[in-house]
Structures are given as C-alpha cells and as structure tokens.
C-alpha cells in the first residue's frame, strides 16, 4: 500500500509546470515577430495549442490547492482558520493585480491610465478564492451541498458562455465591468474562469473524500484519462447532436466555439500525466518553483511588461524577434524569473525585516522634522526671493 502524505507533491509539480509554461508563453507571444506566426507551421501550432492549456491548468490547480487545505481540518465555518487566511489571500491577489498595472510616471503627472483597471489572472484567482469561500460558508451546515454547488457553478459558466461572452455592460463602471466583459481589453474575466477554479475545488473534495482508498491513484488516473480524452475528442460532437435533437441554439453555439470543455479535457489529461509520474516529481527545486508562483508571476510582469515604469522587454521588442531569439530568450527568461523568485523566498524574511526597519526609521525621522519643516521652507523661500532681487535683505 502506497503511503499517503498530507501534501500532494504532484499538484506542486503541476503548478511549477503551469507557471513555467506561462513564462515562455508570454515571452514568445509578446516578442515573436508576426511574420513567423504561421498556423500552418506544425511547430507553431503545437506550441500555440499547449500555450492554451496553461491558464485552465493554473486556475484549476489554484482552486484545488486552496480547497484541499480549506476542508482538510476539523473546524468548519468561520472557526476554520483557512477562511480568514483565504480572505486575506484573495484580497492580496486583487491588490497586487492592480499594483502591477500601475505606472509611477503616470501617477507623478496626475494621470491613471485605463490599463490600470483591466482585469488579469491575479484578479480572477483572488476573486475565485473569495467565491469558493463564500460557497463554503453558505453550505457549512450541509457539507454535501458544497461540491454540488461547485460543480454546478462550473457547468453553468461553461454552458452559458456563448450568451454572456458578448456582454458589453456599458451601464457599469469600467472598474466593475472589466471583471465580466472583454470589451474594454481585459484578457481574463471571472466568467468563465471561475469555472475552472470551482472545478478544481470540486476535484480536491473528491481527493479528500477518497484519500485513504487503496487504489486512489490507479482509479483517478484511469478516470481522468477517459474523461479527458472524451472531452477533447467527443464533447463537440455531443453538443452538435444535442443541437440537432433538441433544436436549442445554445448547443450549436457551444459546438462552434467549444474551447472551454476541450480545455477542461486537457486539464484532466494533465492531471493524469502528473499523477502517473508523481513518484518522479519530488525534486526540491521543482517543488519550490510550484510553491512560489506568485513571486514568479510578479517578477515576470515587471521584467516583461514593465510594471511601475513601463520599461519592460515588451516595450522595446514587441513582436520583433526571430524564432531562435524567442526560444533562447524564453529559456533564459524562465531561468531568470525562477532564480530571482527562489532567492526572494530564501532571503524573504530578512528583506521584509530590513524593509520594516527602514520604514520605521524614515517615519521616526519625519516625525522629528515635521515641527521644523515649515520654518525651514519659509527660510529657504525667503533666501530665494532675496537671491533673485524680489525681496529686500
């Protein structure tokens, strides 16, 4: 019998794979010259398809990990310490998401750019965590309802995507509308991406429920493989047949743009692969990368997109490099971002401690200088006036 551990190492490995895929995907997509974006090229098509797997896997794994920790303890409801931690984490991700889109030069000139209000991955994951907590608290007296609502939320968001995908929501403020519509430029929106996080939460409850089952992994790998291949290869056919049988236009609309269910199938297959090779995925560095995805994301955003300053690689090399340069650069970018994040993780406590001391020192000095600040400014202003002959000595 295989020994079960509290931590699911294959999940950390999946997170590491997803964040590394995201790094190279953003780098190549942002910098590769448009002349080389040929969908008829097999290598480019394969890269493009696998790039599309990254976000669904990342959202699903994020929901899985958070909920796995949420339901693992004995305490429920507000007494569960994971609830408060989750709320703080969700709000933290929302704040960081906005900070990464802030431009300091714009702030100094008194301007906030429209891009500041756009919603991205961190916003959606933060809000998804808060959403999972909300469903958890609403169903605390009937635990069996929790997984049903999570699965139901995923199915509703995936099935009705053709209806809400065209929403403009012009009656809402942009800051709120951007969470639901792409019309203003948001790449990720809470609809439908909360569906993947909720589905990951549902899977984590299944893992928790059957964690002591002797054949957990063989059964899970088999089911994940069959469901994954079924969704990838047959879900579109299913919706086409449903459309023909029922005459419901919604099923036909899903058939013509069936990316959500196909990507969910890809997620199942990725789960199957990582569960199959779980015994080989315990490398310390790999697991550390999986546990530091937030730091890696922040660092990559600053280097590639120029958060705060606007001076990122994207500004200088936007859609201008050759495939060889893009490939070599992407590898270097992955290594650099991972290394910096791991160094921050190693020296994080001392960095935070020194930062806190510096802030306290600056605060104490400013409090001492405040009583004298007005007098110093008055004296300096008087000297300046005398210097330019605008006042008598």
The domain ranges of the chain are 9-229+260-387
- The verdict on pTM exceeding 0.85 is yes
Which tokens hold the place of 344? 């921050």
Residue with tokens 């099935």: 159
Give the residue-averaged pLDDT of 271-281: 94
Q: Is pLDDT larger for residue 197 or for residue 168?
A: 197
The Cα 228–Cα 111 span in angstroms is 47
Q: Does 192 sit behind a cis peptide bond, omega within 30 degrees of 0 on the bond before it?
A: yes
Burial of 337 (0-12, 13-18, 19+ CB in 10 A): buried
The pLDDT value recorded for residue 157 is: 97
Q: How far is CA 244 from the centre of its chain?
A: 37
Percentage of the chain with pLDDT > 70? 87
Share of the chain above pLDDT 90, in %: 70
Residue 3 Cα distances to 185, 211, 219, 389, angstroms: 48, 11, 16, 86
Beta strands in 85-216 (DSSP E): none
Q: What value, to the nearest 5°, has the Cα angle with vertex 268 and ends 253 and 134?
A: 80
**Model confidence over 199-244: pLDDT tens digits?**
999 999 999 999 889 999 999 999 999 999 999 999 999 999 999 9
Q: Are 245 and 251 in contact (CB under 8 A)?
A: no
Q: Residue 56: pLDDT above 80?
A: yes
- Name residue 308's beta-bridge partners: 103
- Write down how long the chain is: 393
How far is the C-alpha of 39 from the C-alpha of 329, rounded, in Å? Answer: 22
- The pLDDT tens digits for 72-130 are 888 888 999 999 999 999 999 999 999 999 888 777 777 777 788 999 999 999 999 99
At 298 the pLDDT is 96
Q: What is the pLDDT of residue 362?
A: 58
φ/ψ of residue 125, rounded to 5 = -70, -40
Measuring CA to CA, how many Å separate 222 from each of 8, 14, 228, 229, 391? 18, 18, 10, 11, 89
Q: Which residue has the tokens 């100094």?
A: 108
Q: Please state, in angstroms and rounded to a whole number, the distance separating the CA atoms of residues 244 and 43.
A: 36
Question: Exposure of 223 by Cβ count < 10 A (0-12 exposed, 13-18 middle, 19+ buried)?
Answer: middle
Query: What is the Cα–Cα distance from 189 to 70, expressed in whole angstroms?
Result: 24
Average pLDDT of the residues in 137-146:
90
Distance separating alpha carbons of residues 283 and 279, to the nearest angstrom: 10
DSSP 117: G
What is the rounded (10 degree) CA torsion for 252, 257, 258, 262? 160
Query: In whole angstroms, what is the distance from residue 322 CA to residue 326 CA?
Result: 6
Nearest in space to 136 (alpha carbons), one of 75, 207, 195, 191: 75
């Amino acid at each position: 019998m295989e020994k079960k551990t509290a931590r699911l190492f294959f999940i950390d490995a999946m997170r590491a794979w997803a964040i590394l895929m995201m790094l190279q995907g953003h780098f190549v997509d942002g910098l590769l010259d448009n002349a080389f974006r040929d969908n008829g090229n097999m290598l480019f098509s394969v890269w493009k398809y696998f790039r599309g797997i990254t976000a669904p896997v990342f959202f699903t794994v994020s929901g899985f990990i958070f909920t796995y920790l949420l339901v693992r303890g004995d305490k429920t409801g507000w007494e569960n310490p994971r609830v408060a931690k989750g709320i703080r984490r969700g709000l933290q991700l929302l704040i960081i998401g906005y900070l990464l889109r802030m431009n300091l030069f714009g702030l100094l000139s008194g301007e906030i750019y429209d891009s500041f209000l756009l919603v991205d991955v961190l916003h959606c994951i933060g809000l998804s965590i808060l959403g999972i907590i909300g469903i958890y608290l609403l169903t605390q007296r009937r635990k069996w309802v929790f997984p049903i609502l999570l699965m139901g939320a995923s199915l509703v968001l995936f099935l009705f995507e053709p209806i809400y995908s065209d929403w403009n929501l012009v009656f809402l403020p942009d800051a709120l509308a951007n969470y639901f519509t792409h019309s203003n430029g948001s790449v990720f929106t809470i609809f439908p991406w909360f569906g993947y996080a909720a589905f990951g939460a549902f899977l984590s409850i299944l893992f928790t429920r059957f964690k002591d089952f002797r054949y957990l992994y063989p059964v899970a790998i088999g089911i994940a493989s069959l469901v994954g291949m079924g969704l990838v290869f047959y879900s579109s056919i299913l919706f086409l047949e449903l459309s023909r049988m029922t005459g419901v236009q919604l099923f036909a609309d899903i058939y013509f743009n069936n990316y959500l269910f196909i990507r969910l199938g890809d997620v199942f297959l990725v789960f199957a692969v990582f569960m199959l090779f779980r015994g080989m995925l315990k490398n310390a560095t790999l697991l550390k990368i999986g546990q530091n995805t937030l730091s890696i994301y922040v660092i990559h955003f600053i280097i590639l997109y120029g958060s705060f300053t606007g001076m990122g690689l994207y500004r200088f090399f936007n859609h201008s490099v050759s495939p060889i340069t893009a490939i070599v650069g992407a590898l270097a970018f992955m290594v650099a971002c991972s290394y910096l994040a791991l160094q921050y993780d190693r020296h994080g406590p001392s960095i935070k401690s020194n930062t806190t001391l510096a802030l306290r020192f600056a605060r104490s000095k400013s409090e001492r200088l405040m009583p004298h600040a007005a007098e110093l400014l008055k004296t300096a202003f008087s000297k300046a006036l005398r210097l330019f002959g605008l006042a008598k000595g």
